Structure 1
């Protein structure tokens, strides 16, 4: 098994990243194509995926979509494609972060640590959260609706846990953003809105008229439940 899977066709860059991460104590597996990376995910437990976009044959956006459909793990995109449009596509497909190349390997390592910490170091003893037909198993980090597992990005999962843990409370947008992305995040605050809409699409009966996650105008969001 590997803590981190790197899908990157630039062997030299992949090896540099691997070496830095191994110094930090992480086990790393490198896949040179999207197909190889997805095959590895099918048969090996992985805690975090580092994903290049410009890959041969199956590109990184397609890999991100396919990985998110099956696996609940943080996905960090590394891409030479700059601009907000590419970032938005990556986030909407399920990525949790987007780094533009060239980037500092020290920054990448810091982001990896932060995502792993937020995704796996959960100290709350309450391991099950439930509301109607919606259940969160905080041990396995899985979300179920009517007994069916929902595909969740790490950020969507964290947001849902925060909202359900504070049922009935109006949570400020700034607080939610800081809790999930961190005060030092390079993500835009509008990223919260994108993720909240995706979350509503998955758990609401009618996402256009949400009853579980309601907007508190001028403040943020509140989980009302059913």
Structure 2
């Protein structure tokens, strides 16, 4: 079950066999066994398998290190996320605490690891939730932007990803004005408008290229 969750769906029997160090025949037999126990697994031999999470299945358990990782990640989002994302992290933490067994819930509440920021990042000048949705839906955006020198411009761009970079939230995007990849600070963006124009399905390959460029620039 965890291998199906970890691998990109649909996971082939060959991938699952390599991941679990068993034969493909064992994978097919285990898939049948899981289905008979109530697991909803879509797919078939030759096409790959996708686990469809079902609320009726037993709750997922976490080991001690996984709980610490969850706490650290959620508290970091609470500390640096935009208001909507920070609230979402708080709600996710409360849901985890309520659903975990009492011993693990106690460990979640009193984890050793934590995240503390004494200065919150600048508040985004636009609706960060709408920006995230535009990136997921691969829709072009239009916005006003004021750069570090105070120069104001009107931009349209294809939003690729939002990252926490140099103590501020930044948008990685393909800028139509500059005809190139650009990084925009969210606190310098204004008047966000999500357009009908779509750049699907180019977000993932474009983001891969942009990240590779940033990585190369960082190594130089």
How does the TM-score come out when normalised to structure 2? 0.23
How does the TM-score come out when normalised to structure 1? 0.22
Choose 1 or 2 for highest CA Rg: 2
